[in-house]
Structure 1
Amino acid sequence: MQLIWLRSDLRQSDNTALSAAAARGPTVAVYLISAEQWLAHDDAPCKVDFWLRNLSVLSDSLEQLNIPLLIRSAPAWDQAPAALVELCQQLGIQDVHVNDEYGIHETRRDQAVACALDAQGIGFHRYLDQLLFQPGSVLTKTGGYFQVFSQFRKVCYERLHTGLPGIVAKPQAQAPLSIARDRVPESVTGFARPGQSLRALWPAGEEEARERLARFADEQIHYYKEERDLPAKPGTSQLSPYLAAGVISPRQCLHAALLSNNGEFESGSVGAATWISELIWREFYKHILVGYPRVSRHRAFRPATEFLPWRDAPQELAAWKEGRTGIPIIDAAIRQLLETGWMHNRLRMVVAMFLTKNLLIDWREGERFFMQHLIDGDLAANNGGWQWSSSTGTDSVPYFRIFNPLSQSERFDPEGRFIKHWLPELATLNKKEIHNPASAGGLFGVADYPQPIVDLKHSRERALSAFKNLPRHQLYEVCDD
């Protein structure tokens, strides 16, 4: 008997571990409910709800293959070995199959499980699945992990040209087992269920994910480069929650993009090539987790930046979290996050840079807040994005490049459509005033909308000074601990 331990791979199609398990013999699936661990990792309630909904759909799908899905509890991951050993002994499991995960806690969990199973004579098989390339296989000429994305991407493209990862075949239906599947819980203690309006934005299931990918590849991908930065337009795929939960695979995404671009990675459609590059960014940050485990420990990628004089400004932090900064594009983006569990990627950068540069508040405050609200919360991508914006990370934006949120707003939301949607109290302003209401209402601004909590010019100078005072010879050195 084989056991597939599902984690961030909630799909039947193109699932490496599932297909490998089914090929070996009769298979059972298990998922561990780990509420304490999820809380410790700041997983958002809407994310937990989304994963449970997808798990329920997957249970029905697996049932068609006569593969029962069992639900077990391991509140914290240090309890996973005992839970799995007990299940394996009950069912007479010979081998456990998993798709690899890459955070430091995930790695330690899997090592402990492997040891516990080995002590019982049970095999533990791990597979590459949520990435295109095995971490440690895309390295510099000196054998190290890349720190610069463009160099990493170049090697990835070379590898893809010589060997494109294939789609894994679906498992065939097996003979029925005398094992009944378990009911997937609708909620988990500690995580409030989100409202129906948010849930409706993100339907569960592989079919929904594949339909989104197909629509994007057919209708939008060729305009992606021009429209991906415009938050008022549907210029992005909005597949990130499905990728984070493994409801769709990066291989499926890559193949769809190549199909729409005649098999080209870097030429042909600029939009398709740009989107493929974004898939490689996702890959890059996962490899960083493995090559530089310090980022899994809430530490800056560049050690010198640990000495930045971050401000303790609880009132300003609260205003940022609640969308009360007085900067419309910032407040609109935060409201989008709070109401939908998602934020447009361009605005994630603008919002993050405002917190870390204009307010000079530690990037870890923002990283945690995002994880607590994002339906697509992913350690590698979230950490990578925040450290990029705060100039503390790998391949990060130079510290002296500080986005001006007003000019970003004017450039990417020129008509103010996005702002007016999320800040209806500003709906009467014209397209010039909408970006900076403080300039529209004389001394008193606009009723029911706050004055800016910070002077953008002075705060920019403060941030520049903070970075300039760091040891210059250390600023771009990196440790690999």
Structure 2
Amino acid sequence: MQQLMWFRSDLRIQDNTALSRAMSSGATIALYLVTPGQWQRHDDAACKVDFWLRNLAQLSQTLAELNVPLLVRHCDTWEQAPGVIAEVCHQHNISAVHVNDEYGINESQRDHHVAAYLGQQTIAWHNYLDQLFFQPGSVLTRSGTYFQVYSQFRKVCYERLHSALPSPVGTPRAQTPQALTADPVPQAVDGFETPSSELQALWPAGEQAAQQRLARFADEQITFYQNERDFPALPGTSQLSAYLAAGVLSPRQCLHAALAANQGEFDSGNPGVITWINELLWREFYKHILVGYPRVSRHRAFRLETEAVPWRHAPQELAAWQEGRTGLPIIDAAMRQLRETGWMHNRLRMVVAMFLTKNLLIDWREGERFFMRHLIDGDLAANNGGWQWSSSTGTDAAPYFRIFNPISQSQKFDPEGRFIRHWVPELAGLNKRDIHDPSALGGLFAPANYPRPIVDLARSRERALAAFKNLDNSEVPA
């Protein structure tokens, strides 16, 4: 019986549960839907769409080696997906569709509608756990609810990993050649500008490139991860997030690479490996939150009482933050890194988020949206979780009174000013003491071509504390 593998955020042939199951069930063809209207609804970045298309082109080539033709269909939004997929199924005598589960309320509704529509036409629907270690709903508190605190969630995950470590799925063997030609993969999509060749070069496409990056990190850097991950001028992070978001790598592959570097241990041994595995579990935690608390997919605060925070409407300050001209060098350097590379160092994501939501008291949703529109690794769960953590509105959030000071963060994590000099070259002539706060030099000595801070850090901190302290902790209606 003919099978259809519908690719989404799982653009790989290795360790792909749905692809493996489809090909073991019968002759298989593959499908990808180009949905520009949906991508715009989700604020997907142009560089991210380009990254998907480049990886899709690589995927088509590797599928060809398995004699699996990739069909590409266009439908503006997911509302048209049931009809488009059903038409493909009828054209090619498909008896079953195979997918890997995705999370988020729009994704869940899409799959429900597609499965129901296909079911009316006696076409089977098979969905699989693939981008997580554990099925959402299987890691719960003793009272049967989803965890709201990461450390408690992690403890249960460790217990499960000790007894049932998820293994990667084998790569399918090539099938008998099909009498069907693969469709060309578009190089660009209207509404999404192709990024610079310099940005593309930072993020080479394909499983081979992703595997090489993972192997290099596991061999050369993971041991030092705990000590170097917070320093943006150092190559201390894996920079695998874009590949995980697109599914060019699986979390299982990452976990097993880390275990191989730590003699099979995930909660003892090398601190760098343990810390990195914890980051994989943070990613898992936020996706479970999407399922357990669907309001976070609807632009709602996890902590509902924080919906009453009196966020400021300050478009000029928001624009200064977005464009990297706040007068705070570490903030400006981080925002310029994001705009030029499609990526920002994780420590700096927290620093700039706290600055926007606490010092400027601007709604976290403005920052969340801006990040999604620029991140090559944009992921609803991770991005929303990070923003809500930083703004003290989310699960396991930073206490509202913990507000990063961008100057002290800069002094601590970019002590020589190397990161700032790279991204804010107008400050390159300052020494390592003055570069973190040029305004302290006074009007005569501060660089003339760099703005003064748009906000007083001490006064804005007090303003944020007052705004959060006045919340009555009573939940607003869901």
1:134-187 per-residue CA deviation (whole Å, 9 max, x = no partner) reads: 000000000000000000000000000001001101111011111100000000
Q: Distance in 2 between matches of 1:453 and 1:254?
A: 43
Q: Could you tell me which amino acid in structure 1 is paired with residue 153 of structure 2?
A: F
Match of 1:118? 119
Q: Distance in 2 between matches of 1:443 and 1:383?
A: 42
CA contact (8 A) 2:329 2:436 kept: yes
Shift of 1:439: 1.2
Match of 2:3? 2
Match of 2:63? 62
Match of 1:287? 288
Match of 1:38? 39
Match of 2:467? 466
Match of 1:392? 393
Shift of 1:443: 5.1
Note if 1:370 corresponds to 2:353: no
Match of 2:150? 149
Q: Distance in 2 between matches of 1:9 and 1:147?
A: 27
Point out the more displaced range, 31-40 or 434-443: 434-443
SS of the equivalent of 2:289 reads: helix
SS of the equivalent of 1:470 reads: coil
Match of 2:361? 360
Match of 2:180? 179
Q: Distance in 2 between matches of 1:239 and 1:2?
A: 31
SS of the equivalent of 1:155 reads: helix
Match of 2:228? 227
Shift of 1:478: 9.5
CA 1:202–1:478: 2 relative to 1, 3 Å:
farther
Q: Could you tell me which amino acid in structure 1 is paired with residue 124 of structure 2?
A: G
Match of 2:239? 238
Note if 1:348 corresponds to 2:349: yes
Gaps of 5+ in 2: none
CA contact (8 A) 1:416 1:434 kept: yes
1:188-242 per-residue CA deviation (whole Å, 9 max, x = no partner) reads: 0100000100000000000011111101111100100000000000000000000
Q: Distance in 1 between matches of 2:382 and 2:180?
A: 38
CA contact (8 A) 2:357 2:363 kept: yes
Q: Distance in 2 between matches of 1:115 and 1:443?
A: 70
1:414-433 equivalences in 2 (<5 Å): 414-433=415-434
Match of 1:165? 166
Match of 1:104? 105
How many residues are treated as equivalent by the alignment?
A: 477
1:371-416 per-residue CA deviation (whole Å, 9 max, x = no partner) reads: 0000000000000000000000000000000000000000000000
Q: Distance in 1 between matches of 2:366 and 2:164?
A: 41
CA contact (8 A) 1:301 1:478 kept: no
Shift of 1:442: 3.3
Shift of 1:265: 1.2
Match of 2:273? 272
1:314-353 per-residue CA deviation (whole Å, 9 max, x = no partner) reads: 0000000000100000000000000000000000000000
Match of 1:405? 406
1:119-134 equivalences in 2 (<5 Å): 119-134=120-135
CA contact (8 A) 2:307 2:476 kept: no
SS of the equivalent of 1:433 reads: coil
1:253-294 per-residue CA deviation (whole Å, 9 max, x = no partner) reads: 000001100111111000000000000000000000000000
SS of the equivalent of 2:21 reads: helix
Q: Distance in 2 between matches of 1:51 and 1:192?
A: 13
Q: Could you tell me which amino acid in structure 1 is paired with residue 320 of structure 2?
A: A
Q: Could you tell me which amino acid in structure 2 is paired with residue 430 of structure 1?
A: N
TM-score (norm 2): 0.99
TM-score (norm 1): 0.98
Q: Distance in 2 between matches of 1:383 and 1:268?
A: 32
Gaps of 5+ in 1: none
Q: Could you tell me which amino acid in structure 2 is paired with residue 311 of structure 1?
A: R
Shift of 1:445: 2.5
SS of the equivalent of 2:221 reads: helix
